[in-house]
């Protein structure tokens, strides 16, 4: 048994709901994640995977239990916790003429860290340039985000969260708009992030480009965790499938 | 303030009022158009209308009552849209209906009791009969808007881009968002006596719509929209006062004409065909 202090994410008997929902969406979920873990969250549609990420990010009301991220209680101190959390959302739709460039959008990821009444520094711009470069977006950094393809926009949002220098990284369907080669590149990048000690949690239905390293597989069904174990990447799809069928 | 340029007192007041009202409104128009809350213009105008009619019914001055109710509505707007879990534009629609109903109700009551209520100043405005204090109030609110935008520029741009992503970035979205709504409301309430509630909508949308035809970044929109608005509003005031034409409607028509031209020559309509 661990005392939980070495876990950067600690969920204890968490129940989460949306306003107006008939039943809690997340039910009695406990989960502990250590630094550097690579976590794949699977399960059928409507199982509560996105809700789990939103709960960790402190974006939903927790009706019971506790959620701690990097030692902070996200229910009481969600805003401070989110400065340490990178979260790439699933659904986004930017108007073609949205008046923001790729560079500006990536910089926005650091705004919370920069804080009130302060302007960005050269260090902030360095982090932005580095994240843009890592995602291969340098040639389009002055382009308007709305004019990029869905996959390129997805990469911009990943760059935004890398530029933030998060202490944990959550990604909701990060591969959904990406081609096979880009998917592998992004996955390798996320692997490096995890190697640097930052836990990476991915909600995904695509298991064909997972990195060659130990992966924690979490399967959700009806708002509950039905499987939570370490696995080799080649076994992830089979585990998710069998756990979903069994549940 | 501008007497050294315009010795004619009427002309000077008109130009000053149009300058500061158009500056504040045009800056806010960038936020209004990008946040898709353009109905805030007529909602706040009708809140002022309701305030004026309630004030008149109970024997208070029309304009202060109009300003007061607009500010109260502003305080309600943000929390109400959060509480009801509706898009801000839907909440604005509900408030529009409510304030309109209140205004008509009290006007009908006054007609029944033989009290008179002249709503024309609130509906059409009158730029040449403003008090100096009203112009000072416009200067103050315009300065407040410039300061607010400068101080919270990064938070505002993040919220305008995507409220959810701004929240995830660790920005406290609500105070800034409510601040934006509040400033819009106060600006509307103070601008109503100048161009009137019916034409205010032009100032709150068209400058940004014109700038949008040429600008690809928010920063450029924040520069171009007020520049266009100030130039056209002062031009409207000068022509209107000089030739005894209604200043508000004249300026509104000028804005609309400029918008048509901007759309026609906008580089955003350009289609590039490369055969090789």
Q: Are A196 and A37 in contact (CB under 8 A)?
A: no
What is the greatest pairwise CA distance in chain B? 78
Query: Does B172 sit within 8 Å of A87, measured CB to CB?
Result: no
**Order of all β-strands in the sheet with A38-42:** A85-88, A168-172, A200-203, A38-42, A215-221, A224-231
> Tell me: the pLDDT tens digits for B199-214?
788 889 999 999 999 9
> Tell me: the pLDDT tens digits for B105-149?
998 888 877 776 666 767 777 777 778 888 888 899 899 999 999
Query: Does B85 sit within 8 Å of A19, measured CB to CB?
Result: yes
Q: How many CA atoms lie within 13 A of A180 on its CB side?
A: 1
Query: Does B158 sit within 8 Å of A108, measured CB to CB?
Result: yes
> Tell me: the pLDDT tens digits for B57-102?
898 888 788 878 888 887 888 788 777 777 878 888 898 899 999 9
Query: Does B169 sit within 8 Å of A99, measured CB to CB?
Result: no
Alpha-carbon distances of B127 from A33, A117, B232, rounded to whole Å: 65, 37, 15
Residue B169 touches chain A, beta carbons under 8 Å: yes
Average confidence (pLDDT) per 10 residues, chain A, 247 residues: 70 89 88 96 92 95 94 92 95 86 96 90 96 95 93 94 96 89 90 95 87 92 94 88 74
- Pick from B168, B169, B215: which is nearest to A99 by CB? B215
Query: How many other β-carbons are positioned within 10 Å of the β-carbon of residue B216?
Result: 20
Query: How many other β-carbons are positioned within 10 Å of the β-carbon of residue A139?
Result: 9
Query: Does A101 sit within 8 Å of B217, measured CB to CB?
Result: yes
Residue B151 touches chain A, beta carbons under 8 Å: yes
Architecture of domain A1-84+167-179+199-247: 3-Layer(aba) Sandwich (3.40)
More confident residue, B193 or A58: A58
- CA distance, residue B171 to nearest chain A CA (Å): 5
Taking the C-alpha atoms of residue B196 and residue B125, their distance in angstroms, rounded to an integer, is: 4
3-state SS class at A42? strand
Q: Are B137 and B145 in contact (CB under 8 A)?
A: no
Average pLDDT over residues B154-166: 95
Taking the C-alpha atoms of residue A99 and residue A90, their distance in angstroms, rounded to an integer, is: 22
Taking the C-alpha atoms of residue B92 and residue B70, their distance in angstroms, rounded to an integer, is: 13
**pLDDT band at B275, cuts 50/70/90?**
low
- Pick from B34, B172, B221: which is nearest to A79 by CB? B172
Q: Are A65 and A40 in contact (CB under 8 A)?
A: no
Nearest 5 degrees, angle CA B89-CA B90-CA B95?
Answer: 95
Taking the C-alpha atoms of residue A131 and residue A158, their distance in angstroms, rounded to an integer, is: 9
> Tell me: the pLDDT tens digits for A60-96?
989 999 999 999 999 999 999 999 999 999 888 788 8
3-state SS class at B57? helix
**β-pair type (A168-172, A200-203):** parallel
Query: Does B217 sit within 8 Å of A100, measured CB to CB?
Result: yes
Give pLDDT, residue A1. Answer: 40
* Chain length of chain B: 276
- Pick from B151, B161, B169: which is nearest to A100 by CB? B161
pLDDT of B52 > 60? The answer is: yes
Calculate what percentage of chain B has a pLDDT beyond 70: 96
Taking the C-alpha atoms of residue B51 and residue B70, their distance in angstroms, rounded to an integer, is: 7
Q: Are B180 and B88 in contact (CB under 8 A)?
A: no
Taking the C-alpha atoms of residue A183 and residue A175, their distance in angstroms, rounded to an integer, is: 6
- Pick from B151, B166, B212: which is nearest to A117 by CB? B151
Q: Are B191 and B141 in contact (CB under 8 A)?
A: no
Q: Which of B152, B190, B189, B167 is nearest to B77 (CA)?
A: B189
CATH 3.40.50.300 in chain A is located at: 1-84+167-179+199-247
Q: What is the DSSP letter of A86?
A: E
What domains can be seen in chain B, in order of their start residue?
Answer: 9-263 (1.10.3470.10)
Compute CA B112 distance to the chain's CA centroid, rounded to the nearest angstrom.
33
């Amino acid at each position: 048994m661990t005392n939980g202090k070495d876990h950067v994410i600690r969920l204890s008997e968490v129940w989460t709901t949306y306003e107006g929902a008939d039943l809690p969406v997340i039910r009695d979920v406990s989960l502990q994640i250590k630094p550097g873990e690579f976590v794949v969250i699977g399960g059928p549609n409507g199982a509560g995977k996105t809700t789990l990420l939103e709960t960790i990010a402190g974006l939903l009301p927790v009706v019971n239990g506790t959620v701690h991220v990097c030692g902070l209680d996200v229910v009481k101190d969600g805003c401070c916790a989110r400065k340490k959390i990178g979260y790439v959302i699933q659904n986004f739709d930017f108007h073609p003429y949205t008046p923001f460039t790729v560079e500006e959008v990536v910089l926005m990821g650091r705004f919370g860290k920069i804080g009130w009444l302060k302007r960005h520094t050269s260090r902030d711009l360095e982090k932005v340039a580095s994240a843009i470069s890592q995602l291969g977006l340098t040639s389009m950094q002055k382009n308007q985000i709305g004019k990029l393809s869905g996959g390129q926009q997805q990469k911009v949002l990943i760059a935004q969260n890398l530029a933030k220098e998060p202490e944990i990284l959550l990604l909701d369907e990060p591969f959904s708009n990406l081609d096979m080669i880009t998917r592998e590149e992004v996955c390798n990048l996320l692997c490096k992030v995890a190697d640097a000690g930052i836990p990476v949690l991915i909600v995904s239905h695509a298991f064909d480009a997972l990195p060659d390293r130990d992966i924690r597989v979490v399967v959700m069904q009806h708002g509950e965790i039905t499987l939570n174990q370490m696995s080799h990447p080649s076994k992830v799809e089979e585990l998710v499938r069998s756990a979903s069928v069994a549940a | 303030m501008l007497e050294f340029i315009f010795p004619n007192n009427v002309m000077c007041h008109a130009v000053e009022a149009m300058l500061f009202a158009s500056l504040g409104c045009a800056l806010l128009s960038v936020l209004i158009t990008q946040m898709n809350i353009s109905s805030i213009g007529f909602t706040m105008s009708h809140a002022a209308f309701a305030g004026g009619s309630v004030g008149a019914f109970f024997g208070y001055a029309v304009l202060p009552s109009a300003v007061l109710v607009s500010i109260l509505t502003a305080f309600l707007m943000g929390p109400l849209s959060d509480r009801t879990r509706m898009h801000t534009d839907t909440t604005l629609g509900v408030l529009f209906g409510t304030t309109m109903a209140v205004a008509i109700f009290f006007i009908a009551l006054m007609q029944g009791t033989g009290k008179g209520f002249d709503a024309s100043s609130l509906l059409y405005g009158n730029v040449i009969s403003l008090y100096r204090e009203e112009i000072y109030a416009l200067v103050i609110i315009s300065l407040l808007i410039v300061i607010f935008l400068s101080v919270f520029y990064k938070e505002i741009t993040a919220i305008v881009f995507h409220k959810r992503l701004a929240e995830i970035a660790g920005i406290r979205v609500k105070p800034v968002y409510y601040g934006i709504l509040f400033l819009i409301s106060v600006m509307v309430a103070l601008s109503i006596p100048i161009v009137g509630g019916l034409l205010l909508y032009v100032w709150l949308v068209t400058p940004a719509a014109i700038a949008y035809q040429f600008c690809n970044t928010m920063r450029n929109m924040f520069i171009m929209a007020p520049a266009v608005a100030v130039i056209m509003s002062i031009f409207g005031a000068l022509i209107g006062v000089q030739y005894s034409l209604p200043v508000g409607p004249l300026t509104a028509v000028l804005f609309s004409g400029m918008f048509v031209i901007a759309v026609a020559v906008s580089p955003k309509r350009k289609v590039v065909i490369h055969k090789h």
